[in-house]
Structure 1
Amino acid sequence: MDKIEFLTEKAAQIRRDLLKMIVNAGTGHTAGSLSNTDIMTVLFYEVMDIKVDDPDWDDRDRFILSKGHSVESYYTILADKGYFDKEELNTFCQYKSRLIGHPNNKVPGVEMNTGALGHGLAIAAGMAKAAKMSKKNYKVYTLMGDGELAEGSVWEAALAASHFKLDNLVGIIDRNNLQITDNTEKVMGLEPLAEKWKSFGWEIIEVDGHNYQELINAFTKSSEIKGRPTLILANTIKGKGVSFMENKAEWHHGLPSEEELAQALEELSSKGEVI
């Protein structure tokens, strides 16, 4: 099995597992987790230097899920990687579970509690600055939502990251064009988005956020950039992989019925078998 085939099948598996987890819990942020699955699959299975048996390894790459409400893909990937037993996914959002509805650093593999939007980039910039000061070589990655970019703290952190020449920092935007109420351009216009980040001193790489080779190439290129941080603008489809969820704002935190789950799983099974 080649690399792209592996990632394709793995992402399909992650999507199936996270949907079952959401339906079992009776709650969750469905469509945003589906849109970021391919990005996170490439990061965790291909890009980041991590040790599952040593989650606190000092030289590990760091990942911050700034769009913390889309935690379902994150937990599912961590369980699949072996950070904790997959059976624990059945406790998602249940009483006394550590798998709460936003990233919880009591879960192995989770660096920081997130959920209040606009904080992830600032945290990641601080980690990247700490690496520079400590002469460490690890990279810091943070995944942001496009609706999140209305938060002023994002742009303060972007300015600081450029000022401190944090070339060990990679920001990723899950650019699915939708947020909880409507299209991002109706709620708070972002365009010209790439030019905005470029004006803040960032290297910009725009990709199809569901194309594994483009994502791999972008992360590879980010490691070659010197003297400035990199922003990967990943164009995605909210609800990706499930036909009746794609590009529909109501699935931001919509809960599939048992019949809808069965349809979704059937569609996703055609995109890759469990491995």
Structure 2
Amino acid sequence: MTILVTGASGNIGSRLVATLARSGYPARGSSRDATTLRLPAGVELAELDLTDSGPSAAKALRGVEAIFLYPVIGTIDAFVAAAVEAGVRYVVLLSSPAAYEVGEFDRPIGRIHRAVERAVADSGLEHTVLYPSWLATNTRRDWADQIRATGRVAMAFADAAVTPIHPEDIAEVAAHLLTQKTFRSRMQILTGPRSMRMRDAVAIIGDVLGVEVTVDDVTREQAWELDQGRIPRPILESLLDVAAATVGQTASVTNTVERITGHPARSLRSWLDANRGDFQRA
């Protein structure tokens, strides 16, 4: 049984490939650009664009029984049809709570994820959709440059509630679902161990670094200016709306990670401890 891991160069896919390799399961990692892949020994490599069902798709799907599917922008209908034809029996789809949350499901991020979910469901493939909460890696993506440069983070709606989840927990859940049938439900909602405000997450970064990291509260308009077009305006507006709506709320917490993996969900601090160098000044 070969397991195809799409998006194998990403935060989740790379960890999933490593988890499967350590457990001895035959795995094949794919990316649009195979030169970006650094795979463990014994893991096959494939170049694959999920929006193109040409010869590369047929080659990547050869002998595959299960797929970890990373969401992409664009139609994947032809790819999932090719997966059915190749004899694939099961898919774990990484999605986002934006696909169902109030204020998000009908906005750009929600529509992107729902389109991928719809393609998989319409294919008839047995599948489980994973809905992970706010990723611990978002701290690096959104704040690391500011912290390294200034020791500060400029942020709108810093009191927004999140439940940071460790990427290793998502990978372990996906690996279990791909190799065992115990928890193969229609969907699994994954979260970290506790709800916190965004400014609390920044404080944990400071604590890990042994310095004070200051949060500079900014307005929505200032957030647009600071982004400098890095994120498309409609998506940034949606993200800001969601953050504003969760101010003063408690983010949802589930025990799904522990039920499936057998251990409690890892903390944000544990991820930061392992990646503190990304936030330290040169």
TM-score, normalised on structure 1?
0.35
Determine which structure has more spread, i.e. the larger CA radius of gyration.
2
Tell me which protein shows more strand as a share of its residues. Answer: 2
TM-score, normalised on structure 2?
0.35
